[in-house]
Structure 1
Amino acid sequence: MNTPLSDSGSASGSLARHPGFQRFWGARVLASLSFQMLAVAMGWHIYALTKSAFALGLVGLAQFLPMFLLTLVVGHVADRYDRRRIAAVCQSIECAAALTFACGTFGGWLSAPIIYALAACVGAARAFESPAISSLLPGVVPRAKLPNATAWSTSATQTAQILGPALGGLLYGVGAGAAYLACTISFALAAVLSSNIRLHTKPASRAPVTLESVFSGIAFIRSQPVILGALSLDLFAVLFGGATALLPIFARDILHAGPLELGLLRSASAVGALTGTIWLAHFPLRRRPGLAMFGGVIVFGFATIAFGLSHNIVVSLIALAVLGASDVVSVVVRSSLVQLRTPNETLGRVSAVNSLFIGTSNQLGEFESGLTAGWWGAQPAVLVGGVATICVALVWMRLFPALRDTRSLEREPEPATAAAN
């Protein structure tokens, strides 16, 4: 890595005192916290209503479809308008959706079709929010601090993924309406923080809308084999290996637990991820980040298999923690590659495609998990997914040697340029 981050303690300290980054980090924590609480509540609620693994998968599909359909639009919006306002508006919409969940619960009219419709609204809002937030960070902190800021920004998400599911499960145990109200408040606070983030650079200028500019994010990624390899590796690994959508089934039918234990299971992977994030923030990946990413994906696959075989909640929690720690390597490498190798004027469109890959692996992965669990059962579906993840990593090492052999998160010089220098 070319970025001078050897003094990680001072870098972390300066970020902690950076007012723009403080608000950015706080907004990201609160928004992620809200979404994680909402995911637990929706999952347990829909499974309680339907007792169907397929119905659980449909929640993920309902969130994925708007993201897929809006990908080209949201990237251009993120590059043409103030990314802070976009994030604040989206979080306000999510706040309204959570409030509707609460009203429907208290009023007794919240049915499965309404849950799917509200999940689609949340998915549409997150489709705009994700690239806006992701592409905002280079304007919040100087470029020299970007890899460190990316790691700490990832820790914001992981912190929320620890606290959110556990808190959501606890509140759902008190009452579903209480969980939805907590989501409403947290989304509202996130919107306030997002609208008040300070930037050290001006927002990107509004480039004219052309067909070429709309597709420029996809064209850029296709021209960068390292970024394309990282995005597609993460896509297929999590698509096949994601067991999150099936956690209500594992908690209720296999581990014989309740909503609080479901929250702990969803938190376990984030505990491992946060541990890995803090480690990477203090000890950045200076050499062979691509190889580290492949190793993390393979460990992710083995941890998924261990979780699928487990009938003990302690073993399941440990397996999920290892799964989260290994996954964060992929997250940090992929995010850093996108941030450091993409020009700021197209970062929103590239981040939108990145968000589509993430949404495909997460939300569509939930649908895939629900579908295969409906066919084969929850445990066989998870085991097959873990094996498929390992196979994907091994195949991608052959398909994308540029990613496997890359030695820096920064853009590397072409061989001819390097020889001339």
Structure 2
Amino acid sequence: MRWVVWLLLLSVVAVLAASTLGANDGVVSIYWSPWRVDLSLNFFVLLLLASGAAVYIAVGSINRLVGLPERARLWRLQRRERAAQMALRESLGLLFSGRYSRAHKAAQRALEIRALTTELTADVEFGALAHLLAASSLHRLQDRTRRDEQLGRALGMLGAPALPTPVAEGARLLATEWAIDDRDPDRAFEQLAQLPAGVARRTQALRLRLQAARLSRQPLEALKTARLLAKHQGFAPVAAHGILRSLAIEVLDTARDADQLRRIWLQLDPADRRDPVVTARAASLAAELDAVTDGRGWLRPHWEHIHQLGERERAAVLRAFVDVLPGLPADWLPLLEDAVAAQPQDAPLAYAAGRAMAERQLWGRARRLLEVAASNASAELGLRQDAWRWLGQIADQEGDEDQAQRCYRKAANAT
């Protein structure tokens, strides 16, 4: 179709030229004393067009000839730039493939080409990336001295403080990650503090902050960071729940007295205080620190819904409840009886309720509940042995030495 259009255009031009120039009798006379030249108008027009074309070609040729050195310079610059870019890509590929020595050499080659090219020295990000690739390779090679030197050069190129560019942000994050690998949490926090506020809230920055906090044994800071990560969907839901639970328990374990434990408990997020396992750990610590009243108060909301808890959560609550039994008030008894009535054959529940009844010196009720726990073959061995031992102590309290001896023998011979 394109050729057809060109043929039509040529035909139109030919027709116009024939109709215009075919019957043109005009004459152009050129006087140059003492000569005179007469030319037909058609020939003069053609000669004028040919002269213009010749002048255009001549001027273009002269311009290209004069600009040849500049074009050669640009060509050499383009070759060097391509070589530098190729070396940088090669270094990145070798780093990903685990060829760290070769990756470092390729990055150094890119830097050497940049140093020899004046135009490339103005490209700050190129140089910074090359230094970061070299530093990453040296980090893998455990050469910390030269790694820090390359990192310092990269940050120096980016400015002090570093310019808010992706390369500068990446350099700070890499420096933080390397500090964590070196088990230097102080340096990691120092690098994180130099990040802009928006970058510090990104998932990768929060992950690094979490690792630094755990490395420096700051469980409360780690817990806050992990909660932010969970909010940003940095963990799978199940993993987030487990991490937050373990960190909350670590925070509680830092308490050294009852007052400190109470302060830590209030500092926890409401979601952590609603976790039965976390609450159970807090209650057990309260018992160790002579704050059983606080521990029972923290456990009571979970006791009211004991049958709705999962197996692990219920076991943790029951164990913690046994720890906070000393001084159990009477208002707990209806709650215990309702729980046992709902599941009379639940051995751990029967054991905990039996221990509570024994604490209140209700020997008959305690004996019946502990017998349920001791005779349940599906219960844990340790729980059945404890149940028999407490039955022996109850028999001692009642003065039945024969029954007490039988209970102690069953505790010793339980399998």
TM-score by length of 2: 0.20
User: Which is bigger in relative contact order (C-alpha 8 A, separation at least 6)?
Assistant: 1
- Structure richer in helix, relative to its length: 1
